[in-house]
């Protein structure tokens, strides 16, 4: 066991503490899909299949067993990574986990792109707003933060498509790749794969397709950064150590960049963890707007084609990612701020 | 009854008292927007015939003109009529979703914060887990299982906002529980029930309009999102902003902007109004911020 108070000890503790959360999320998915009134198989087929097909599907998936037995089977299956095989049209008979892993990189690429846009725009606007307190630029940027946050992400996507794809023709409006054959799958992130193969032309195509979706999702998320950075900067610009720096005659720009800004970012990382929920929900909508072939599209397609194991699998993977990210964020927090370690 | 009336009016007192401050003005703008939308939702459908919202009512894809101020869409429906009828639909879902979440989340938070101990820790763990999960995905999953419709979507959305009400109510209860006047009431021999309802609930209820406004804005967005994904309402609902945006998608490539712009603007006006109300009220009732302003 590592020494108490060390980062490793903190990471291990945090990992164990995340297990109850994971189990609760898995249980919620179980309850929604199997226990609440309504028959998911019948609902998914929506009257398109005769009763005996519905009954046969239910039996095949073990949904006619008692709840406790289903629950044990389900948790065991998830923990061993066996998410079953697809019963939908497009992926019939294929391993659910395999299909999801194939779609996951698209969503990851979009999420990273959006986070980059959100942090650049959000931090820049937050700093300008926080250092010009109550001046017109501050009021305007605070309004921006409030309004951009409640704009429907799919509507923003459509408007950006109208302006930059249809009107100006700068970027493609749909898909992850077009024109040339897509890069060979290595990581599944087209931008990274094209660079690994040293194909700058493919990289440019990939980036062009990534710009509008990332901008759409990133802009919506940026409002939150604007507000958080501003609020924390206001707290740190008046802190004692900043006053002390000012008294020593250090120029204001340097005070902001070297003293106040760094400490203002710590709480931003903490609340960043909560943003992943919004990021993934927004990604599902953005994927639909831009026909971006990721996890969100897979989920919608699976709901549409009554692919019960796939729906369950996608949701379970989302839950795993959310729990894993919350651990990672907390460990990063421990890394930059020693006070949070247990 | 007197207690219930006091509980109902309590949250709105700061709104009247501080109407001239910036947060006060923001709140009033937000409240005004909400009331306008409610009026549109009630009276709009009485003035505009439902026939205009049906397919093939008019020629398709007419651009905005005097006859059709917002144009017509890809299957010949009047966009203006759809947008007005959609107001009623959205407000109905908002009322069901946000009110049910309040009715379940508020008492749970009060109880959890007041009783404390193991029960509290269990509640917090479950609620925090739900809160961490992407709300839209959970609502989509529930909607896919229980089926479409205004009431069902309201239920699906409720589930994701219960943790919000729970969390805020509980935290407020925890801090109120330690106040001197609660201590004094206890020393005078007041019953637990009396303390919880007349002393604690009375002071916790002040945060409810804040969460209501913010979660209502989110409810509108989530409901529109579900409809956009095709998991929301039945196809024959006379107005559904999310579905209208979904239908508009096909025509974007030909530069048809009006079927997309107007339903989106309605969503934004309503959600911005609700967040002005929520954030303004938050500044008014949050004593920490108040001290900073003074």
Q: Are A212 and A165 in contact (CB under 8 A)?
A: yes
Nearest CB to B253 within list A33, A173, A318:
A173
B253 CB within 8 Å of a chain A CB:
yes
Closest chain B residue by Cα to residue A317:
B133
Would you call B125 and A20 a contact, using CB atoms and an 8 Å cutoff? Answer: yes
B261 CB within 8 Å of a chain A CB:
yes
* B162 burial type by CB count under 10 A (0-12 exposed, 13-18 middle, 19+ buried): buried
- Chain A and chain B share a number of CB contacts under 8 A equal to 139
Closest chain B residue by Cα to residue A303:
B144
Closest CA to A102 of A188, A183, A195, A192: A188
Spatial distance between the Cα atoms of A152 and A216, rounded to a whole number of angstroms: 10
> What are the domain boundaries of chain A?
105-295+319-341
Output the CA–CA distances (angstroms, integers) from residue A233 to A129, B5, B293, in the order listed. 9, 42, 17
Nearest CB to A315 within list B137, B229, B276:
B137
Q: Are A132 and A122 in contact (CB under 8 A)?
A: no
Closest chain B residue by Cα to residue A323:
B132
Would you call B279 and A281 a contact, using CB atoms and an 8 Å cutoff? Answer: no
Residues 6+ apart with CB under 8 A from B51: B57
pLDDT digits (tens, 9 = 90+) for B127-167: 988 888 888 999 998 988 888 889 999 999 998 899 999 99
pTM as predicted: 0.87
Torsion of CA B271, B273, B274, B278, to 10 degrees: 130
Closest chain B residue by Cα to residue A43:
B145
Would you call A277 and B134 a contact, using CB atoms and an 8 Å cutoff? Answer: yes
- A85, β-bridge pairs: A95
pLDDT digits (tens, 9 = 90+) for B173-182: 888 888 888 8
Nearest-Cα distance to chain B for A158, in Å, is: 7
pLDDT at B194 over 50: yes
B146 CB within 8 Å of a chain A CB:
yes
Buried b (16+ CB within 10 A) or exposed e, A145-178: bbebbbbbbbbbbbbbbbebbeeeeebbbbebbe
Nearest-Cα distance to chain A for B139, in Å, is: 10
B153 — phi, psi (to 5°)? Answer: -65, -40
Residue B135: alpha-carbon gap to chain centroid: 14
Which residue in A107, A134, A150 has the most chain B C-beta atoms within 10 A of its own C-beta, making it the best mutation to test that interface?
A: A150
Closest chain B residue by Cα to residue A284:
B137
Q: Residue A270: what pLDDT?
A: 73
Q: Which residues of B touch A139 (CB under 8 A)?
A: none
Nearest-Cα distance to chain A for B30, in Å, is: 12
pLDDT at B290 over 60: no
Q: Are A128 and A253 in contact (CB under 8 A)?
A: no
Q: Chunked in runs of 10, what are the mean pLDDT values of chain A (342 residues)?
A: 68 85 88 72 72 79 82 87 82 89 92 92 90 88 90 94 89 81 80 82 86 94 89 82 84 81 77 80 93 92 85 90 87 76 60
Mean pLDDT of B96-101: 89
Q: Are B212 and B102 in contact (CB under 8 A)?
A: yes
Q: What percent of chain B has pLDDT over 90?
A: 36
Lowest model confidence (mean pLDDT) among B14-28, B88-102, B222-236: B14-28
Q: What is the DSSP string of chain B?
A: -HHHHHHHHGGGHHHHHTTTSHHHHHHHHHHHHHHHHHHHHHHHHHHS-GGGGSTTSS-TTPPS-SSSTT-B-TTS-BHHHHHHHHHHHHHHHHHHHHHHHHHHHHHHHHHHHHH-HHHHHHHHHHHHHHHHS-HHHHHHHHHHHH--SHHHHHHHHHHHHHHHHHHHHHHHHHHHHTSHHHHHHHHTT--HHHIIIIIIIHHHGGGHHHHHHHHHHHHHHHHHHHHHTT-SS-TT-S--HHHHHHHHGGGGGGT--HHHHHHHHHHHHHHHHHHHHHHHHHHHH-HHHHHHH-
Mean pLDDT of B17-33: 85
Instruction: Please tell me what DSSP assigns to residue A191.
Output: H
Q: What percent of chain B has pLDDT over 70?
A: 96
Q: What is the DSSP string of B30-79?
A: HHHHHHHHHHHHHHHHHHS-GGGGSTTSS-TTPPS-SSSTT-B-TTS-BH
Would you call A158 and B249 a contact, using CB atoms and an 8 Å cutoff? Answer: yes
- Give rounded-to-5 percent helix, strand, coil for chain A: 75, 0, 25
Please tell me the class of the B33-60+68-293 domain: mainly alpha
Q: Residue A47: what pLDDT?
A: 67
Q: Would you identify the CATH topology of the domain A105-295+319-341?
A: MetI-like fold (1.10.3720)
Mean pLDDT of B72-93: 90
Nearest CB to B217 within list A150, A173, A318:
A150
Question: Which B residues, 49 through 78, put their C-beta within 8 Å of a C-beta on chain A?
Answer: none
> What are the domain boundaries of chain B?
33-60+68-293
Q: Residue B124: what pLDDT?
A: 92
pLDDT at B293 over 50: no
Spatial distance between the Cα atoms of A332 and A194, rounded to a whole number of angstroms: 30
Would you call B264 and A152 a contact, using CB atoms and an 8 Å cutoff? Answer: yes
Would you call A44 and B271 a contact, using CB atoms and an 8 Å cutoff? Answer: no
Closest chain B residue by Cα to residue A28:
B130
Q: Which residues of A touch B146 (CB under 8 A)?
A: 36-38, 43
pLDDT digits (tens, 9 = 90+) for B237-266: 888 999 999 998 888 888 889 999 999 999
Nearest-Cα distance to chain A for B181, in Å, is: 32
């Amino acid at each position: 066991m590592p020494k108490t108070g060390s980062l490793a000890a903190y990471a291990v503790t945090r990992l164990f503490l995340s297990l109850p959360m994971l189990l609760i999320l898995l249980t919620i998915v179980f309850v929604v899909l199997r226990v609440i009134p309504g028959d998911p198989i019948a609902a998914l087929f929506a009257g398109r299949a005769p009763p005996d097909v519905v009954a046969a599907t239910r039996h095949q998936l073990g949904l006619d067993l008692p709840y406790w037995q289903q629950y044990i089977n389900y948790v065991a299956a998830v923990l061993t990574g066996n998410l079953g095989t697809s019963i939908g049209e497009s992926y019939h008979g294929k391993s659910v986990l395999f299909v999801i892993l194939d779609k996951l990189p698209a969503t990851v690429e979009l999420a990273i792109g959006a986070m980059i846009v959100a942090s650049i725009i959000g931090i820049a606007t937050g700093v300008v707003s926080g250092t010009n307190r109550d001046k017109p630029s501050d009021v305007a940027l605070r309004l921006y933060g409030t309004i951009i946050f409640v704009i429907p992400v799919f509507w923003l996507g459509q408007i950006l498509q109208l302006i930059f794809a249809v009107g100006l023709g700068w970027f493609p409006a749909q898909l992850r790749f077009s024109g040339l054959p897509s890069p060979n799958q290595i990581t599944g992130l087209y931008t990274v794969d094209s660079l690994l193969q040293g194909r700058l032309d493919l990289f440019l195509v990939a980036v062009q397709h990534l710009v509008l979706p990332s901008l759409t999702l990133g802009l919506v998320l940026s409002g939150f950064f604007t507000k958080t950075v501003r609020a924390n900067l206001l707290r740190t610009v008046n802190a004692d150590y900043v006053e002390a720096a000012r008294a020593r005659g250090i120029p204001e720009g340097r005070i902001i960049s070297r003293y106040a800004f760094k400490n203002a970012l710590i709480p931003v990382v903490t609340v960043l963890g909560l943003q992943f929920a919004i990021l993934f929900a927004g990604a599902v909508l953005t994927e639909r707007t831009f026909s971006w072939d990721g996890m969100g599209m897979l989920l919608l397609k699976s709901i549409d084609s009554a692919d019960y194991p796939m729906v369950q699998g996608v949701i379970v993977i989302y839950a795993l990612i959310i729990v894993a990210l919350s651990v990672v964020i907390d460990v990063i927090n421990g890394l930059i701020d020693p006070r949070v370690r247990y | 009854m007197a207690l219930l009336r006091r509980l109902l009016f309590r949250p709105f007192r700061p709104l009247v008292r501080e109407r001239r401050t910036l947060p006060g003005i923001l709140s009033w703008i937000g409240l005004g927007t909400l009331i306008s939308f409610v009026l549109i939702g009630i009276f709009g459908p009485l003035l505009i015939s439902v026939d205009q919202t049906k397919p093939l009512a008019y020629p398709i894809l007419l651009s905005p003109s005097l006859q059709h101020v917002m144009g017509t869409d890809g299957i010949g429906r009047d966009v203006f009529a759809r947008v007005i009828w959609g107001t009623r639909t959205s407000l109905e879902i908002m009322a069901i979703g946000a009110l049910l979440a309040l009715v379940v989340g508020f008492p749970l938070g009060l109880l959890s914060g007041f009783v404390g101990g193991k029960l509290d820790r269990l509640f917090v763990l479950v609620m925090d887990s739900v809160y961490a999960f992407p709300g839209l995905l959970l609502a989509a999953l529930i909607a896919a299982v229980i089926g479409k419709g205004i009431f069902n979507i309201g239920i699906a959305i409720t589930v994701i906002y219960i943790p919000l009400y729970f969390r805020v109510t509980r935290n407020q209860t925890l801090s109120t529980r330690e106040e001197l006047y609660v201590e004094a009431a206890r020393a005078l021999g007041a019953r637990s029930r009396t303390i919880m309802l007349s002393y604690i609930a009375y002071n916790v209820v002040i945060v409810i309009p804040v969460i209501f406004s913010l979660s209502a804005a989110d409810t509108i967005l989530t409901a529109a999102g579900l409809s956009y994904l095709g998991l929301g309402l039945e196809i024959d609902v006379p107005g559904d902003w999310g579905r209208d945006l979904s239908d508009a998608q096909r025509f974007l490539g030909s530069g048809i902007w009006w079927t997309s712009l107007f339903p989106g603007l309605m969503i934004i006006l309503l959600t911005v109004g609700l967040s002005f109300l929520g954030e303004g009220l938050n500044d008014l009732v949050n004593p920490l911020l108040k001290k900073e302003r003074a």
